[in-house]
């Protein structure tokens, strides 16, 4: 009879558990090391992560513009002083605003769509709305400790209501622009009716 000694089976099992524990510890240390080094890495190389978006969806965004000034890596300032930074599910706030240059017909609810698909024209429109709001023409739709929501009547056609609700309502035209700001940092901006 060829039986393994009970203590050798126990030691084999102990070695497997020890190996697994070492692997887990290695993963934990690697994650902790990255989290510790992340601020330094982002200062050195910038947070240039790929935007999370469905396959096949194309976001219109380019930091290259005669209108925008890059004040830090991936941080752009408009002539009116509005700042577009990395963030949002589109990867950058400017890309998020430009996502409103195209209709999303399957999107539930309303989706404000700019008439222009040109980034320079959209940035100029947002700047104009911001300046009008500063002059008292905008309605402060809401504010909390950090964000201000403005709805500004542009007194002209700037886009339409898209999405499923827009399709059901016959894509009504929009004359107002809604902006969500954190100080001068743009969170989003889009047409509303």
Report the predicted TM-score, pTM, of the whole model to 2 decimal places. Answer: 0.66
Whether the per-residue pLDDT at 35 is higher than 90: the answer is: no
What pLDDT, on a 0 to 100 scale, did the predictor assign at position 138? Answer: 79
Return the structure tokens found at 85: 């930074």
**Average pLDDT over the chain, rounded to whole?**
83
Residues 6+ apart with CB under 8 A from 117: 60, 101, 102
Overall average pLDDT of the 23-49 stretch: 66
Q: Residue 172's pLDDT is what? A: 95
Q: Where are the domains of the chain?
A: 1-45, 69-192
Which residue did the predictor score with more confidence, 26 or 35? 26
The helix (H) or strand (E) run that includes residue 6 is helix 6-45
> Which tens digits make up the pLDDT trace of 152-171?
999 999 999 999 999 999 99
Cα radius of gyration rounded to whole Å, the chain:
25
Q: Tens digit of pLDDT for each residue in 110-132?
A: 999 999 999 999 999 999 999 99
The upper half-sphere exposure of residue 49, i.e. CA atoms within 13 Å in the direction of its Cβ, equals: 13
Residue 123: which H helix or E strand, with range?
helix 119-134
Provide the phi-psi class of 52: left if phi over 0, else alpha when psi is between -120 and 50, else beta. Answer: beta
Over the stretch 15-24, which tens digit does the pLDDT of each residue have?
887 888 888 8
């Amino acid at each position: 009879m060829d039986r393994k000694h009970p203590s050798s089976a126990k030691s084999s099992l102990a070695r497997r558990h020890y190996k697994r524990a070492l692997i887990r510890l290695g993963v934990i240390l690697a994650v902790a090391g990255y989290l510790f080094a992340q601020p330094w890495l982002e200062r050195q190389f910038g947070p240039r992560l790929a935007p999370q978006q469905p396959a096949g969806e194309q976001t219109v965004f380019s930091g290259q513009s005669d209108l925008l000034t890059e004040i830090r890596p991936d941080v752009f300032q408009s002539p009116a002083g509005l700042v577009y930074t990395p963030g949002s599910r589109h990867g950058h706030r400017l890309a998020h605003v430009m996502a409103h240059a195209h209709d999303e017909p399957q999107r539930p609810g309303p989706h404000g769509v700019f008439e222009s698909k040109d980034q320079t024209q959209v940035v100029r429109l947002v700047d104009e709305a911001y300046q009008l709001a500063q002059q008292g023409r905008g309605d402060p739709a809401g504010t909390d400790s950090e964000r201000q929501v403005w709805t500004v009547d542009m007194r002209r056609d700037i886009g339409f209501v898209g999405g499923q609700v827009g399709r059901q309502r016959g894509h009504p035209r929009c004359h107002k622009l809604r902006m969500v700001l954190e100080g001068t940092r743009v969170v989003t901006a889009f047409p509303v009716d």
